[in-house]
Structure 1
Amino acid sequence: MTSAGAVVVPSLGRWGLSAHADLTYRALTLSGPGTTATLARHLGVEVTRIRRAVDELSAAGAVRSSVAGRSRTWHAVPADRVLSVLQGRRSPRVYGDRLRQHVAAVSGLHLDRLPAASVCRLPTRAAARHRIAELVAAERCEHLAVNTEDVISADAAATAAPLDRSMLSRGVRLRMLGLAPLDGSASEPAPPGSEHREATSLPLKLMVFDRRAALFPADPADFEAGAILLTDVDAVAQLTALFYRLWGTARDPYQPEVAAILLSAREQSVVSLLSAGHSEAEIAVRLGLSRRTVVYTLRALMDRLGVDNRFQLALVLGAARAVPLPGVHPPQES
Structure 2
Amino acid sequence: MPESTDTIPRLTRWGVSPDADLIYRALTMMGGRKDTELSRELGLPRSRVVAALDELAAVRAAQPTRSATIRPGVARRWDPCPVPQVLRYLRRPVVPGSQRDRWRQHFGTLDGLDLPTLDESRIRHWTSRSLARRRIAHLGAAERHEHLAINTEEVITADATAAALPVDRGLVERGIQIRILGRPPGDGDRTTAHLAQVGGVGMTYRELPDLPIKLIVFDRRVALFPADPLNFEAGVVEVDDAPVVQALCGLFDRLWTQGRDPHRQGVPPITLTPREQALVALLSAGHTDVSAANELKLSVRTVAYTMRELMDRLGVENRFQLALLLGAAGAAPLPMSRTAVPRPPEQPDKEDG
Q: TM-score, normalised by structure 2?
A: 0.45
Asked which structure has the greater CA Rg, the reply is: 2
